[in-house]
């Protein structure tokens, strides 16, 4: 039968081994958790497409981002799916267009490069272009001239205030 001293030594030895096993177990768990956490890290993602559609909860398209023939266009649609607002960007110009419920251009802002250098146009009216042109106000500015035009109900110019030298001499 073992003596008390031998039993104490055995208990101490077992406690020491148990302590080492606990340390090893904790270290192994930390390493496994670290490997799993690194495996769960989300890699950087890139989504590529020629057209992106943004839909509401009912599945209706509310916005569209499109690239076609060098023109990038972000379009916002109304409940009926008609284009209401469009932001376009091309190599030498950018524009913002706002349309009515029938798709007629009501207001636009455009900036770009023309034969006269940089130019910009702000126009408001209902509608601005097409066979049903109506009353509108058009402001244009470039590096060489500016103008303000007012059109009547039929879309005919009724007043213009040019500021370019060529326009003033006419």
Per residue in 7-43, pLDDT tens?
888 888 888 888 888 888 888 888 888 777 777 667 7
The span from the CA of 71 to the CA of 90, in Å, is 5
**What value does the mean pLDDT take over residues 119-140?**
71
Q: Which residues pair with 63 in a beta bridge?
A: 54, 76
Q: Which of 28-42, 78-92, 132-146 has the highest mean pLDDT?
A: 78-92
List the one residue out of 118, 121, 120, 154 whose CA is nearest residue 136.
154
Residue 126 has pLDDT above 70, yes or no: no
Q: Residue 47, SS3?
A: coil
For the cut 70, the answer to whether the pLDDT of residue 87 exceeds it is: yes
Residue 142 falls within a domain, yes or no? yes
User: Quick one: pLDDT at residue 168?
Assistant: 39
3-state secondary structure (DSSP) of residue 45: coil
Distance, CA of 74 to CA of 65 (rounded, Å): 4
Domain count, the chain: 2
Residues 6+ apart with CB under 8 A from 98: 84, 85, 105, 106, 107, 108
User: Quick check: is 165 in a domain?
Assistant: yes
Q: Tell me the whole-structure pTM to 2 decimals.
A: 0.61
Q: How far apart are CA 129 and CA 155, in angstroms?
A: 8
The residue among 142 and 68 whose pLDDT is bigger is 68
Residue 151 belongs to some domain of the structure: yes
The pLDDT assigned to 129 comes to: 53
Q: What is the mean pLDDT of residues 55-76?
A: 92
* Residue 120 structural domain: 113-170
- Which long-range contacts (C-beta less than 8 Å, at least 24 apart) are formed by 21-27? none
167: phi > 0 → left, psi -120 to 50 → alpha, else beta; which?
alpha
* Residue 12 half-sphere exposure toward CB, CA atoms < 13 A: 6
- Does 150 fall in a domain? yes
Name the more confident of 54 and 15.
54
Residue 11, in any domain of the structure = yes
Residue 50 has pLDDT above 70, yes or no: yes
Q: Establish if 102 belongs to a structural domain.
A: no
25 domain residue, yes or no: yes
Q: Is 132 a domain residue?
A: yes
Query: What secondary structure letter does DSSP report for 102?
Result: T
Q: What sign for the dihedral angle of Cα 116, 121, 125, 126?
A: positive
What does the pLDDT average to over 62-89? 92
């Amino acid at each position: 039968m073992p003596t008390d001293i031998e039993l104490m030594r055995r208990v101490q030895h077992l406690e020491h081994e148990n302590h080492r096993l606990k340390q090893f177990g904790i270290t192994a768990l930390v390493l496994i958790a670290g490997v799993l956490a690194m495996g769960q890290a989300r890699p950087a993602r890139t989504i590529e497409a020629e057209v992106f559609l943004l839909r509401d909860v009912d599945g209706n398209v509310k916005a569209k981002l499109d690239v076609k023939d060098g023109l990038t266009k972000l379009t916002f649609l109304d409940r009926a799916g008609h284009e209401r607002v469009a932001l376009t960007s091309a190599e030498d110009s950018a524009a913002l267009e706002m349309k009515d419920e029938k798709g007629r251009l009501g207001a636009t802002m455009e900036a770009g490069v023309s034969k006269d250098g940089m130019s910009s146009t702000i126009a408001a009216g209902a509608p601005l272009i097409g066979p049903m042109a109506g009353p509108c106000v058009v402001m244009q500015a470039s590096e060489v001239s500016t103008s303000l035009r007012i059109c009547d109900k039929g879309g005919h110019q009724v007043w213009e205030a040019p500021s370019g030298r060529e326009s003033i001499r006419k």
